Amino acid sequence: MFITDRLISAIRNSQVTPVVEAELLPSGVTKLVYKKPSDFVFKSGSWARIAIPEISGEYHPFTLTAAPHEKHLSMHIRAVGPWTRAIRQVFDPKKLKDGPMPFLYIDGPYGEGNQDWAIFETAILVGGGIGVTPFASILKDVIFQIQYNHTLAVKKVYFFWVCRNQRGFEWLIDIIRDLEEKDNKGVLEVHIFITELLHKFDLRTTMLYICEHQFQKISHRSIFTGLAASTHFGRPNFMDLFQQLQASHPPTAKIGVFTCGPMPVIKNVEEACDTCNEFEGARFYPHYENF
């Protein structure tokens, strides 16, 4: 089995994958869009390893932000180390100009428990920090499946995004905005929790909070993100959130909870699931992926 696995990886690693689009986004994020190999079959939430010969022969794992129905594969890679910073230099438009786009090798796909979201009638997605990347693929897949797959089990999806500030993942806001426009059945409900302001709750922050609350009430949009999604300040209380959802769903309901992010976020979500499952009502089934 080991030899077979190594042979398959060697075959994958020898396939040249052209990059069709590269974009340098704010906050040190690089968007790479590349051709999907003919034998590359994956589920939303998968990840893959890539190597860029122009940088080095090393393989690095990243989450796929493309949905299975999309023509090309894509990744959003944040520059947090020498290799990821080198990506921004290699794909800098000023350096490329009219020259050929560098290619890459891809090894994958690989999967995690987050791919099981489609088997539940109600799904809760919790993304913390960089762990939000798998849900870009899942959220796009949710809307597509709701529109075209009439036998899909899931009917309601809650997405809780916990971030220090929205600047680090501005690209995801654009994806959510596009999905809000396509979600004509009200399947997706998004809540964004900005934790940075929790430690700076002075008079200025209080005024921002009041302005945000009034703006959402009048225009049904967030003054910070421009989304219909609700923006909250501070860390979410998952116990209260899950109890509210438990009360709003039938007692026989099975709710899948999918978390990706740092261990403190995962631990809080699992504790909330365990506590709520002690009461009568809908049952929570936690899954997680740690970054």
The enclosing domain of 56 has a CATH number of 2.40.30.10
268 C-beta neighbours (distance < 10 Å), count = 19
- DSSP one-letter string for 148-202: H-TT-S--EEEEEEEES-GGGGHHHHHHHHHHHHH-TT--EEEEEEE-GGGGG-S
Q: What is the dihedral of CA 135, 140, 144, 145, to 10 degrees?
A: 0
Summarize pLDDT for 96-124 with one digit per residue, the tens: 777 788 899 998 888 766 778 888 989 99
How many folded domains does the chain comprise?
Answer: 2
Considering the domain architecture, whether residues 121 and 199 belong to the same structural domain is answered as yes
> Which residue, 77, 94, 110, sits at the end of a domain?
110
Alpha-carbon span 72 to 69, nearest angstrom? 9
Average pLDDT over residues 176-202: 78
Q: Is 116 helix (H, G, I), strand (E, B) or coil?
A: helix
Considering the domain architecture, whether residues 57 and 131 belong to the same structural domain is answered as no
Look up the domain containing 40 and give its range. 2-110
Residue 68 has what DSSP assignment? T
Confidence of residue 52 (pLDDT cuts 50, 70, 90): very high
Considering the domain architecture, whether residues 49 and 130 belong to the same structural domain is answered as no
Summarize pLDDT for 124-161 with one digit per residue, the tens: 999 887 778 888 899 999 888 888 876 778 889 999 99
Q: 183, exposed or middle or buried, with CB in 10 Å at 0-12, 13-18, 19+?
A: buried
Q: Tell me which of 75 and 180 has the higher pLDDT.
A: 75
Considering the domain architecture, whether residues 229 and 172 belong to the same structural domain is answered as yes
Contact of 199 with 165, CB cutoff 8 Å: no
Task: Name residues whose C-beta falls within 8 Å of residue 278's C-beta, 6 or more positions apart in sequence.
Answer: none
Average pLDDT over residues 48-75: 91
Residue 97: what pLDDT? 74
Considering the domain architecture, whether residues 206 and 222 belong to the same structural domain is answered as yes
Residue in 153, 168, 139, 121 with CA at minimum distance from that of residue 64: 139
Considering the domain architecture, whether residues 215 and 144 belong to the same structural domain is answered as yes
Considering the domain architecture, whether residues 123 and 84 belong to the same structural domain is answered as no
> Which residue, 50, 76, 110, sits at the end of a domain?
110
Considering the domain architecture, whether residues 246 and 135 belong to the same structural domain is answered as yes
Q: What is the dihedral of CA 142, 286, 169, 291, to 10 degrees?
A: -130
Considering the domain architecture, whether residues 99 and 121 belong to the same structural domain is answered as no
